[in-house]
Structures are given as structure tokens and as C-alpha cells.
Amino acid sequence: MADTMQFDLVAPERKLASVEEAVEVMVPGADGDLTVMPGHAPMLTTLRPGKLTLVTRSETQSYAVTGGFAEISPEGVTVLAERSLPAEEFTKEVHDRLIEEARRVHDEAHPSVADMTAKLLADMEALGSHMLG
């Protein structure tokens, strides 16, 4: 079994990262964080706002993602994130804007989805403590 895998992080507007030698990837799955290593069983999971960490042999790189989904196969991970930023670009201002947006969505949301938007808001707030903390 190979000890590295392919990792792609794509956003609708551009490709953010494509690494062939990922050793492990930590993904903020909707039902909890998970770490993917080469040879992982194929799976598809949606993402919650959170921190995505990529570990290669030489370095560790973090990204903030605000949602999307990840396709995992034994050969690699493809993350399709709606919005994503490398950790260096994730500043307090960006975070404040995201929270504000999530709060607005929550305030305007239909009561039937209020749980979902509340979770989104909470996740968004938690994202700050993960990324900036």
C-alpha cells in the first residue's frame, strides 16, 4: 500500500491546492472530524465550517473551509469547498464577516431550518477559535 495519496482542494472559482504526496488529511466532517490516511475506505461526507489540515512529509498546511463536501477514496481526497482560505489569509476580519453572514442567515431563516442555521453559526464561531486560537 502506498504511503502517500493525492489531495485536491477545489473551490468553485479556482483550484486551491493539489498535492500528490499527502500523508494525512484532517477533515471537518459534518458528523465529526476525521483523519484520512492513504488506503481509506471510499466515502463521501459533507463538511461543516472548520479547519482542514493537510500533512505532507515536509510540512503541515491548514485551510479554513466553510462547507462543501469531501470525496475520499483509497488513492486520495478531493475536497470541494464552497469557500476556503489558507490559514495565513484567515484573519479576524474574515472571520467576523463570516459570522455576521451566518448570523444574518440564521435571523432570516425559516423556523423549520433554524436548527441548521444555528449549528452553522455555532460552527462558524468555533472555526475562529480553531483557526485564530
Residues binding another protein (CB under 8 A): 8, 10-15, 29-31, 41-46, 68-69, 71, 73, 78, 80, 82
Choice between 43 and 132, CB closer to another protein? 43
Choice between 100 and 132, CB closer to another protein? 100
Choice between 53 and 66, CB closer to another protein? 66
Beta carbon of residue 61, minimum distance to another protein (angstroms, whole number): 19
Beta carbon of residue 133, minimum distance to another protein (angstroms, whole number): 26
Per residue, the 3-state secondary structure of the chain, as one string, reads: CCCCEEEEEECCCCEEEEEEEEEEEEEEECCEEEEECCCCCCEEEEECCEEEEEEECCCEEEEEECCEEEEEECCEEEEEECCEEEHHHCCHHHHHHHHHHHHHHHHHCCHHHHHHHHHHHHHHHHHHHHHCC
Beta carbon of residue 42, minimum distance to another protein (angstroms, whole number): 5
